Copies of this chain bind each other. A is one copy, B any other.
Amino acid sequence: MSKTIQQTPNTTISRLAKRASYDVQTIHTILDESLVCQLAFIRDQIPVSIPTGFVRINDEIYIHGSVGSSYMRQLATGQDTVCISVTHLDGLVLARSAFHHSVNYRSVVVFSKAQLVTNKTELYQALELFTEKVQPGRWAEIRKPTENEWKATMVLKFKIEEASAKIRTGPPKDDEEDYNLSVWAGIVPLKTIREEAIPDPALKQGVEKPGYLL
């Protein structure tokens, strides 16, 4: 049997509990398919939720930011519980009744506190894996960070210890008596695609599009 995460009051899903999953592999896969997460925290007694890039390495989520960012500095203290969430919208669920219209989705919610990353090897690896997640093949050819750029960068990591996934798949579920209605029902799959890469107008002459973009 695969590894599961211990449920806590924060992560126990009460609504539509059959859609919940605490399977570690499921949680990791949903996280890895998303380039950005929503990072929610409390600032002056108010919830704030912002999108930010991230990469998962083992059982930790790494987020890069600027040392000038006030929320990065706040979270770096390690005092704040944050809520990191990722949602994939996989399809529209068109039921026979308005009430049973829904969407197919895979989402993950993680509650955690930040740890400031200061180890150089770990910083380097997090940036490399983040860049390779955004575009596989990219790291080998780009200019690596200078000392000054490292000084301007803050990296936080969040342990994935308190987390849950929620998933809906499959066709609509209508009320028994509605299956006889002459209303079309089914799903409309949604998909995010990468379109053809567009060169920077300032691209140096003679530089060809790399193989990983073809």
Contact = CB atoms under 8 A, between A and B. Distances in A.
Interface of A: 10, 14-15, 35-36, 38, 40-42, 45-51, 53, 66, 68-70, 81-83, 85, 87, 89, 92, 94-99, 101, 103, 105, 107, 109, 111, 127, 131, 134-135, 138-139, 141-146, 149, 153, 171-172, 178-204, 206-210, 213
Given A70-B14, A143-B178, A191-B193, A101 B134 contact: yes
A191 B191 CA distance: 8
Nearest to A185: B200
Contact of A111 (B46, B111, B131): B46
A202 B179 contact: yes
Contacts of A172: 200
Contact of A40 (B83, B89, B188): B83
Contacts of A144: 97-98
A197 to B, nearest CB: 5
A209 B189 contact: no
A3 to B, nearest CB: 25
Given A83-B49, A85-B38, A189 B184 contact: no
A109 B46 CA distance: 13
A128 B106 CA distance: 25
B97 A142 contact: yes
A111 B101 CA distance: 28
Nearest to A150: B99
A142 B208 CA distance: 53
B203 A82 contact: no
A83 B185 contact: no
Given A40-B47, A49-B109, A135 B97 contact: no
A198 to B, nearest CB: 5
B179 A199 contact: no
